[in-house]
A and B are shown apart, each in its own frame.
Chain A
Amino acid sequence: MTDAAWIERALVSSRPQAVAALLRYFRDLDAAEEAYQDACLRALKTWPVNGPPRNPAAWLIMVGRNAALDGVRRRARQAPLPDEALISDLDDQESDLAERLDDSQYRDDVLRLLFVCCHPDLPPTQQIAMALRIVSGLTVPQIARAFLVSEAAMEQRITRAKAKVAAADVPFEAPGPVERSERLGAVMKMIYLVFNEGYSAGPKDADRSQLADEAIRLGRLLLRMFQTEAEVMGLLALMLLQHSRAAARFDANGEAVLLEDQDRSLWRSNMISEGLALIDKAMRRRQTGPYLVQAAIAALHARARRFEETDWAGIDALYATLEHLQPSPVVTLNRAVAVSKTQGPEAALAMIDPLAPQLSGYFHFHGARGGLLLQLGRGREAREAFDRAIGLAGTVAEAAHIRMHIDRLIAENGKAGQAG
C-alpha cells in the first residue's frame, strides 16, 4: 500500500530532477513539463497498485520519456510500447537509471533547469515566477496569490518568460568549469531572491511568506548536488539563520519587531544549529564569499542569547570583509552600527557621514545617524536626522522606534530647560 500523501511528496521531491532530465532529452521546456505531468498521472494510477518504485525520480524520467515516445510512435502508426501498468517491474531499467542519476550529467541537468529560470534576459520577478513554476511545481494560481496578481497576468508572465528562455537557447552540452560556476552564481542569486520575497512578507501574507521555506528547499537541493561549494553552504546557512527568527520578527498585530526587541526564545533552534553546522563546515574550505560572510554575521546574532551579548567586534570584522568582497554604502552603514558598539559613536559617525550623498533617501541611514548624534549629545542635529528618518520609515515598528528616541529627546530637553 502506498498512501496518497507519500505519493504526492515523492512527486514533488522528484520534480526538479525528473523535469531536468526530461528537458535534456526533449530540449524543450513545455515538452519536458508535459512528459513529467504524463508520468505523474501514470504514477498516481500505478504506484498504489504495484507499490512505490525504489527511485521515484528514475521511474518518472523513464515513464515520461516512454510516454512521449509512445505518442510519437502512435502517430507514426507503429506498434506502441507496452503500457507501464502492464509491466510489473521496471526495476532493472529503473535501478540502472537510478545509479546514473548521481552522475555529474544529472547534476548539470538540474543546474541547467535552475539556470534557465534565472536567465540574465529575465527580470527578477519573472525569474522567481519561473523557478516556482518549473522547479518547485507550484501552480499558476498559487504563484499569482503569492504575488498578488491575477492568474491571467501570472500565466502571461510565465509564458513570456518561457518564450524568452527558448529564444535565448541555453546550450545542452555539459558546461565547462567557468560556465558551471557562472550558472551556479546566477542560480544562488535567484534562490536568494525567492527567499527574500518570502522573508519580507509578514505573517498575514501566508502565501508569500512560504516562499522562504521553498527557497530553503531549493538551497538544500543545490547543496546536495554541490556538496563542496562553500558559498552554497553559506547561502543555505544564511537563509536558515534569517528564517529561524520568523516567529519573533512580527508581533501579534503583524507589525515588524526590531532585532534588539525580539523574543529570542521564539527563534527556531533547529534551523540555527543547521546554519551553524554549515558555516563550520564551509569555513574549513577557506574560500570566503559574500553569502558565507553574511551567514557568519547572522550566526553571531543567533549565538547571542540576549541582544546585549552580541559579539560586535566579530560583526565589525565580518562587515569589513564584506565591504572588501562586495563594497556598498549599505554594508558600510551596517558596519558603522557595529563600530559604534566597539569604538563609540564618534568613530561610527565619521564612517557614515561620507555616505550621505548615496543614502540620503534611506531610512536606516538617518535613523542610525540620529542615534549616534544623540549619543554624542548633539540633540538638535539628532532631532533633524530622526525627523528625516520618520518621513522615510517603511513600517510602523521603524517609525515607532524613531518616535521613542524623539520623545526621549523632548523629555530630556524639558528637564534641561527646567534646570537652566
Chain B
Amino acid sequence: MMYAVLCYNSEETVFSWTKDEDDAVMAKLQTVHDRWEKAGKLKPSLRLLPTTAATTLHKARDLVVDGPYAETKEQLLGFYIVDVDDLDEGLKFTRELAAVNPGGAYELRPVMLYYPGAPVEKTGPQ
C-alpha cells in the first residue's frame, strides 16, 4: 500500500526558525528518511513554501486567486508535481486538467525542496 503522508504545522512558526534551527530539524529528519529510503519504502518527499506563496485556480469560474485554497467544503483528493517555467505555465497545466475534470479547485504551491527518494516500482495499490 502506498500512503501520501501530509505534513501539518504552523507555517508562522516553522518559517520563523533560524537557519541553525531549521538545519537541526532537517538533519534529524534526514536520518529517518535515509533509513526508509534504504529500505526502498520512502518515495518522493517534498517541502512546500508557505501559503503566502500559493495561487489558487477555482475551476467553476476559471478564477485565479492569490493565496491558498481556504474552503473547508472540499477535501484534498490528490496532487501533482509539475516542473514548469513559471506560474503561468503551471496555471496552463491546471486549466487543461480543469477542462476535463470540473469541480473544486487546484492550489499551486511552490516546492521548496524535492527529494526523489527510492525508485518507484509500482504506480498504485495492487
- List A residues at the B interface (Cβ < 8 Å): 9, 13, 213, 217, 220, 223-224, 227-228, 233, 236, 247, 268, 270, 273-274, 277-278, 280-281, 284-285
Determine the chain B residues whose CB is within 8 A of the CB of A268 once the complex forms: 19
**Contacting chain A: which of B46-54, B74-82, B98-106?**
B46-54
B83 adjacent to chain A (CB < 8 Å): no
Tell me if B53 and A278 are in contact (CB < 8 A).
yes
Determine the chain A residues whose CB is within 8 A of the CB of B65 once the complex forms: 227-228
Interface pairs (14), CB distance under 8 Å: A13-B16, A220-B12, A220-B15, A224-B51, A227-B66, A228-B66, A228-B67, A247-B19, A273-B49, A274-B53, A274-B110, A277-B53, A277-B87, A277-B110
Cross-chain contact of B53 among A217, A228, A281 (Cβ < 8 A): A281
With A and B bound together, what is the CA distance between A273 and B49 in angstroms?
Answer: 8
Determine the chain B residues whose CB is within 8 A of the CB of A270 once the complex forms: 22, 112-113
Tell me if B16 and A217 are in contact (CB < 8 A).
yes
Determine the chain B residues whose CB is within 8 A of the CB of A217 once the complex forms: 12, 16
B126 adjacent to chain A (CB < 8 Å): no
Determine the chain B residues whose CB is within 8 A of the CB of A227 once the complex forms: 52, 65-67
Determine the chain B residues whose CB is within 8 A of the CB of A213 once the complex forms: 16, 18
Tell me if B52 and A223 are in contact (CB < 8 A).
yes
Tell me if A278 and B87 are in contact (CB < 8 A).
no
Minimum CB–CB distance from B91 to chain A (whole Å) comes to 8
Determine the chain A residues whose CB is within 8 A of the CB of B31 once the complex forms: none
Minimum CB–CB distance from A277 to chain B (whole Å) comes to 4
B13 adjacent to chain A (CB < 8 Å): yes
Determine the chain B residues whose CB is within 8 A of the CB of A9 once the complex forms: 10, 13
Minimum CB–CB distance from B58 to chain A (whole Å) comes to 14
Cross-chain contact of A280 among B22, B87, B112, B113 (Cβ < 8 A): B87
Using A213-B16, A223-B52, A270-B112 as known contacts, list a sample of 5 further A-B pairs with CB atoms less than 8 Å apart, ordered by residue number in A: A220-B52, A227-B52, A227-B65, A277-B87, A281-B55
Q: Across the two chains, which residue of chain A brings its CB closest to B17? A: A213
Chain B CB count within 10 A is highest, among A220, A224, A277, A280, for A277
Tell me if B110 and A13 are in contact (CB < 8 A).
no
Chain B CB count within 10 A is highest, among A213, A227, A274, for A227
- List B residues at the A interface (Cβ < 8 Å): 10, 12-13, 15-16, 18-19, 22, 49-53, 55, 64-67, 86-88, 110, 112-113
Determine the chain B residues whose CB is within 8 A of the CB of A247 once the complex forms: 19
Q: Across the two chains, which residue of chain A brings its CB closest to B49? A: A274
Determine the chain A residues whose CB is within 8 A of the CB of B113 once the complex forms: 270
With A and B bound together, what is the CA distance between A228 and B88 in angstroms?
Answer: 16
- Knowing A213-B18, A217-B16, A273-B112, the reply to whether A13 touches B52 (Cβ < 8 A) is no
Q: Across the two chains, which residue of chain B brings its CB closest to A230? A: B66
Determine the chain B residues whose CB is within 8 A of the CB of A233 once the complex forms: 66
Tell me if B87 and A281 are in contact (CB < 8 A).
yes
Tell me if B87 and A284 are in contact (CB < 8 A).
yes
Minimum CB–CB distance from A223 to chain B (whole Å) comes to 5
Determine the chain B residues whose CB is within 8 A of the CB of A13 once the complex forms: 10, 12-13, 16
With A and B bound together, what is the CA distance between A220 and B54 in angstroms?
Answer: 13
With A and B bound together, what is the CA distance between A247 and B22 in angstroms?
Answer: 15
Determine the chain A residues whose CB is within 8 A of the CB of B52 once the complex forms: 220, 223-224, 227, 236, 278
With A and B bound together, what is the CA distance between A42 and B100 in angstroms?
Answer: 54
Determine the chain B residues whose CB is within 8 A of the CB of A220 once the complex forms: 12, 15, 50, 52
Determine the chain A residues whose CB is within 8 A of the CB of B12 once the complex forms: 13, 217, 220
Q: Across the two chains, which residue of chain B brings its CB closest to A222? A: B52
Which 9 residue pairs of A and B lie closest in terms of their CB atoms, listed nearest first? A227-B67, A277-B110, A277-B53, A227-B66, A13-B12, A280-B87, A223-B52, A228-B66, A274-B49
Tell me if B18 and A281 are in contact (CB < 8 A).
no
Minimum CB–CB distance from B8 to chain A (whole Å) comes to 14
With A and B bound together, what is the CA distance between A236 and B87 in angstroms?
Answer: 18
Q: Across the two chains, which residue of chain A brings its CB closest to B53? A: A277
Q: Across the two chains, which residue of chain B brings its CB closest to A280? A: B87
Q: Across the two chains, which residue of chain B brings its CB closest to A221? A: B12
Determine the chain A residues whose CB is within 8 A of the CB of B50 once the complex forms: 220, 274
Minimum CB–CB distance from B67 to chain A (whole Å) comes to 4
Determine the chain B residues whose CB is within 8 A of the CB of A285 once the complex forms: 66
Tell me if A273 and B110 are in contact (CB < 8 A).
yes
Chain A CB count within 10 A is highest, among B12, B13, B67, for B12
With A and B bound together, what is the CA distance between A277 and B49 in angstroms?
Answer: 9
Determine the chain A residues whose CB is within 8 A of the CB of B86 once the complex forms: 280
Tell me if B19 and A281 are in contact (CB < 8 A).
no
Determine the chain B residues whose CB is within 8 A of the CB of A223 once the complex forms: 52
With A and B bound together, what is the CA distance between A285 and B67 in angstroms?
Answer: 13
With A and B bound together, what is the CA distance between A220 and B49 in angstroms?
Answer: 12
With A and B bound together, what is the CA distance between A228 and B22 in angstroms?
Answer: 29
Minimum CB–CB distance from A237 to chain B (whole Å) comes to 9
Q: Across the two chains, which residue of chain B brings its CB closest to A14? A: B12
